Structure 1
């Protein structure tokens, strides 16, 4: 049984919609940071911050694959139940007003469902375009990209500008390996940095 302080702390954590979305995703299967970022359309940096908070509270934990990339899964699942009690002293709306509210709600619901379907179709097409572009990068960049780690790093930077520490977290590379990879990609004109933050070369000039 949790005490009141622990319950309050968990409610603070779960009060954030994106953390709830991450938990829902991890209920389905363990995920890498990049998977969570792609599926939920969140920046890797934001995902890492949410994961770190939930890891401290022992809600999630991680293992590492053969490339030392962390994949996260639920350590302790959380279920809350809320009881709603109907008040008998509420003033009811006239029947016509109820019908108007219901009709307006149904019209809005139809619009929202239609908008969602259009978004899903657009996202599916974008996913196909992304897969095609990654395939092209592998095909035409094989003389520059030495391994999958190079591609993982470039894909991570395609999402957002990232710090060295965030790139370590995302790629699973050691500090020396990451330094070497970044230096090589900088030499090839693919990556640049401003202080400790790295981005794709020329991306801010577009």
Structure 2
């Protein structure tokens, strides 16, 4: 059984929605960084940060394939169950003044925030469905035009933010020459452009936050 400190750390990790999404994805099968990034539409940098945190807590681990690409998987399977017990009569509860205006206002605000959160979650679910549909379109168009898997990995990664050649090779866990050749092809097709040392999708300006 986990002690109080371990439970607190676990709750801190699971308190982040994107880490919960990563865990649910890894329940299905081992995945590499760009695969997680593409499936959940998170920036590779954010994915790596979440994975590193969960790896430190021994929640996940990884193995490498013959291309030295890291595949992450759940090291420990677990279920979190929260039980709420009625302790009426067992604990002395201080009575609150019925005319406490601040309390009433706070409770009213809490209800409004809870409703707003539910509305945002519904909007987020719809957005994620739209993202998944768009991702499927991108995959279909890339393969229809004879693009390679590495081309798809690069353009999806660059759709999150701009990267240098070194950063792309590190994130994709590929040799720089392979990445450079793919970038040259994408540039010749007018899909990717180079700005100094950084590469970005043509027509996309500004770098999204991770």
Bin for the TM-score computed over the shorter chain: 0.5 to 0.7
| Structure 1 range deviating more: 195-204 or 147-156 | 195-204
Distance of aligned partners of 1:21 and 1:88 in 2 relative to their CA distance in 1, 3 Å threshold: farther
Name the CA distance, whole Å, in 1 between partners of 2:2 and 2:149: 44
Distance of aligned partners of 1:9 and 1:116 in 2 relative to their CA distance in 1, 3 Å threshold: closer
CA RMSD in angstroms comes to 4.5
User: How many positions carry a matched residue from both structures?
Assistant: 200
Name the CA distance, whole Å, in 2 between partners of 1:15 and 1:3: 16
| Structure 1 range deviating more: 83-92 or 50-59 | 83-92
* Aligned residue in 1 for 2:202: 201
Name the CA distance, whole Å, in 2 between partners of 1:179 and 1:185: 10
Aligned to 1:184, the other structure's residue is in SS state helix
Q: Unmatched 5+ residue regions in structure 1?
A: none
Q: How far has the Cα of 1:110 moved from its partner?
A: 5.5
Task: Indicate if the aligned counterparts of 2:62 and 2:70 stay in contact, CA closer than 8 A.
Answer: yes
Task: Indicate if the aligned counterparts of 1:13 and 1:54 stay in contact, CA closer than 8 A.
Answer: no
Q: How far has the Cα of 1:47 moved from its partner?
A: 1.0
Query: Is residue 191 of structure 2 the alignment partner of residue 190 of structure 1?
Result: yes
Query: Deviations 1:53-94 (Å, cap 9, x if unpaired)?
Result: 433554322234566543211224578899999752422464
Name the CA distance, whole Å, in 2 between partners of 1:104 and 1:154: 43
Aligned to 2:169, the other structure's residue is in SS state helix
Aligned to 2:61, the other structure's residue is in SS state strand
TM-score, normalized by length of structure 1?
0.65
Query: Is residue 160 of structure 2 the alignment partner of residue 156 of structure 1?
Result: no
Task: Indicate if the aligned counterparts of 2:41 and 2:131 stay in contact, CA closer than 8 A.
Answer: no
Query: Is residue 45 of structure 2 the alignment partner of residue 45 of structure 1?
Result: yes
Q: How far has the Cα of 1:24 moved from its partner?
A: 4.6
Matches within 5 A, 1:51-200: 51-65=51-65, 68-76=68-76, 88-92=92-96, 94=98, 112-139=117-144, 141-142=145-146, 145=147, 147-200=148-201
* Aligned residue in 1 for 2:13: 14
Distance of aligned partners of 1:113 and 1:69 in 2 relative to their CA distance in 1, 3 Å threshold: same
* Aligned residue in 2 for 1:29: 29
Task: Indicate if the aligned counterparts of 2:68 and 2:173 stay in contact, CA closer than 8 A.
Answer: yes
| Structure 1 range deviating more: 190-199 or 100-109 | 100-109
